[in-house]
Amino acid sequence: MVIILYYVQSVYIARNVISDALSSAIDSAIIYGTIASDVGRGEVRLDRDKVKQGITAMLKANLRLDDSLSSETFRRGKLAVQVTHNSDGVPRVEAEFSAEIDIGIMRLFGQDEYTIRVPRKTPYLTEYK
C-alpha cells in the first residue's frame, strides 16, 4: 500500500511541476508574442508563431527538456499550442503538454510508463484590465 501511495504522489508532483512550468511559459510567451504597435491603441493582439516559440522555449528551459521535448523524467513530450479569439477578437492562449513518466508499479498492470497530460489556458486577455 505504501508503494502505491508513493507512486501516486510521484504522479501528482510531476503533474504540478508541469503545470507550474506551463503556466510560466504561457505568461512569458504572451509578453514575447504581443504585437507592440497595437498596445498603444488599447488592443491586445498576439503573433501566433511568436507565442508558440515562446512557450516552447520557456517550457524547455523550465523542465530541462531537449529539442524533442524529452528528458530523463519526461519522455516523448508533446506540446500543442493554440491562440483562439472570442467574438470581439480578444485572444486567449491554450496549451497542453503531455509526456510519459516511468513508474515501476505500472509494470504490474502491463504498462511501463504513465502518460501525463496537463492543459492550461489563459482567460481572454482583456479580462486582466
> Domain ranges in the chain?
2-128
The mean of the pLDDT values for the chain is: 84
Reported as a pLDDT band with limits 50, 70 and 90, residue 7 is low
Residue among 115, 83, 81, 84 at smallest CA distance from 96: 81
Q: DSSP assignment, residue 46?
A: B
Residue among 11, 21, 19 at smallest CA distance from 115: 11
Of the two residues 21 and 12, the one the predictor is more confident about is 21
pLDDT at 129 over 60: no
Helix axes of 48-63 and 2-33: crossing angle, nearest 10 degrees:
140
What pLDDT is attached to residue 56?
Answer: 96
Of the two residues 85 and 27, the one the predictor is more confident about is 27
pLDDT at 3 over 80: no
The size of the chain, in residues, is 129
Percent of the chain with pLDDT over 70: 80
The residue behind cell 510521484 is 10
d(CA 70, CA 91): 29
Q: Could you report the per-residue pLDDT of 31-76, keeping only the tens digit for each?
A: 898 877 766 666 777 889 999 999 999 999 999 999 999 998 899 9
Mean predicted confidence (pLDDT) in 117-125: 83
- Cβ(113)–Cβ(102) below 8 Å: yes
